[in-house]
Structure 1
């Protein structure tokens, strides 16, 4: 599951008994050697889709971690790009990892639920961070993203189709979420990480309520499931420009 450069079992145990912020501070030096990092094929497919839709000017990587999303932004944005995260450790690694060539990147330590920006971004991306937000926090999170986008700007993130009930992956994720709920019931501070709490239907509704026009782009590189639905899709939530209003989801 982990490469030889990844964290040891004891390190993971210490992280799991910490807060989310402290846990990622500890994990940061070895994070890119874990399966928690968004896989390169997903990052590459997202980059290609955004290249076809762009170019964009300014970009923000929400909950940037070690900067994988900033790498995507630097390939599709003509202007400045910024990574924001509340883990000092992750930002430290990102600063060292993301270097020229390419546009310079800025780094800001902040909570995604209270972003310290005005409406200055044309593109906001996020990769693998939403399991750290409880469902009741999504309206506030999406309102924050909406507030930092310029009219006509887009909020983009990949969503992997959920595993089939009864499959090994389904059972593993169900077990992980159950363990996390027990852990948070008996231990403080809580560590919020639930793989099954981020549901596409609920996310679509909350994005629309936050004022976004929501589209769904299939990433053809990953094929489709037996029912015809994409294995991986990009959610593309646009802040309406002048004369536009929020609307329902458009699939492609």
Structure 2
């Protein structure tokens, strides 16, 4: 799963016993050589689904990590692209890889209420980050993203279709979540990363409560499962325009 340039087992263990912020600071120099980086196929499928809705003006990558989302935002946005993350280590890697973009260190649960995070962006995206937020924290995240978007702006993110109940992947992901819950019950600081807390129904309720109108489209470029379901969907949460 890891290339020779990726982290060692010991480095992963140290990261897993750290806080989310400190863990990603430690992992940052080798993050792009791990399977945790958002796959290019998922980024490209997202860009393909968004392309008919654009072009867009300013773009925002929420929880940007090392900047993989620039693969989507760069071609779609005609103006400045900004990434925001609370890990200084991940932002350092993003700046090196994409010096033309703007990188801001901030907690996505408490985005600044002034400056560039108030009605400034036309498109916001996030990739692979929702599992780092407890359900009780997502309302603040979604409220901040809505505030950062201009009226009519779009918040988009992909969701992988959950595996069938009882399948090997179902038990693997459920087992991972269980291990994380046990880890966080007995060890401090907590490391929040859960696969089973970002279900579409709950996200729809939370995004609607935050003032978005939400639809989804299948990510057909990812293919379909044996049961015919698309392997992923793109959530499209629109901030209503001014009346």
Task: Tell me the TM-score range normalised by the shorter chain.
Answer: over 0.9
* Post-superposition offset of 1:35: 1.1
Question: In structure 1, what is the equivalent of residue 143 of structure 2?
Answer: 143
Report the Cα distance in structure 2 between the residues aligned to 1:41 and 1:229, rounded to whole angstroms.
18
TM-score (norm 2): 0.95
* Post-superposition offset of 1:219: 1.1
- Preserved CA contact (<8 Å) 1:71 1:98: no
Secondary structure, in 3 states, of the residue corresponding to 1:159?
A: strand
Confirm whether residue 178 of structure 1 aligns to residue 174 of structure 2: no
* Post-superposition offset of 1:228: 4.1
Question: In structure 1, what is the equivalent of residue 18 of structure 2?
Answer: 18
- Preserved CA contact (<8 Å) 2:109 2:138: no
- Number of residue-to-residue matches in the alignment: 239
Report the Cα distance in structure 2 between the residues aligned to 1:110 and 1:132, rounded to whole angstroms.
15
TM-score (norm 1): 0.92
Report the Cα distance in structure 2 between the residues aligned to 1:229 and 1:148, rounded to whole angstroms.
33
Question: In structure 2, what is the equivalent of residue 111 of structure 1?
Answer: 107
Q: Deviations over 1:131-168 (max 9, x none)?
A: 10001111111111111100000000000001112211
Question: In structure 2, what is the equivalent of residue 56 of structure 1?
Answer: 56
**Segment of structure 1 superposing worse, 123-132 or 166-175:** 166-175
Is there any run of 5+ residues in structure 1 with no aligned partner, and where?
A: 244-252
Secondary structure, in 3 states, of the residue corresponding to 2:75?
A: helix
1:160-179 alignment to 2 at 5 Å? Answer: 160-179=160-179
- Preserved CA contact (<8 Å) 2:62 2:83: yes
Secondary structure, in 3 states, of the residue corresponding to 1:217?
A: strand
Question: In structure 2, what is the equivalent of residue 235 of structure 1?
Answer: 235
Question: In structure 1, what is the equivalent of residue 134 of structure 2?
Answer: 134
1:164-243 alignment to 2 at 5 Å? Answer: 164-243=164-243
Is there any run of 5+ residues in structure 2 with no aligned partner, and where?
A: none
Secondary structure, in 3 states, of the residue corresponding to 1:68?
A: coil
Question: In structure 2, what is the equivalent of residue 249 of structure 1?
Answer: none
Relative contact order higher in (CA < 8 Å, ≥ 6 apart): 2
Report the Cα distance in structure 2 between the residues aligned to 1:95 and 1:40, rounded to whole angstroms.
19
Report the Cα distance in structure 1 between the residues aligned to 2:2 and 2:164, rounded to whole angstroms.
24
* Post-superposition offset of 1:108: 0.2
Report the Cα distance in structure 1 between the residues aligned to 2:10 and 2:214, rounded to whole angstroms.
42
Question: In structure 2, what is the equivalent of residue 91 of structure 1?
Answer: 91
Question: In structure 1, what is the equivalent of residue 67 of structure 2?
Answer: 67
- Preserved CA contact (<8 Å) 1:156 1:234: yes
Secondary structure, in 3 states, of the residue corresponding to 2:29?
A: helix
Report the Cα distance in structure 1 between the residues aligned to 2:71 and 2:224, rounded to whole angstroms.
27
Report the Cα distance in structure 2 between the residues aligned to 1:200 and 1:229, rounded to whole angstroms.
14
Secondary structure, in 3 states, of the residue corresponding to 1:188?
A: coil
Alignment RMSD, CA only?
1.1
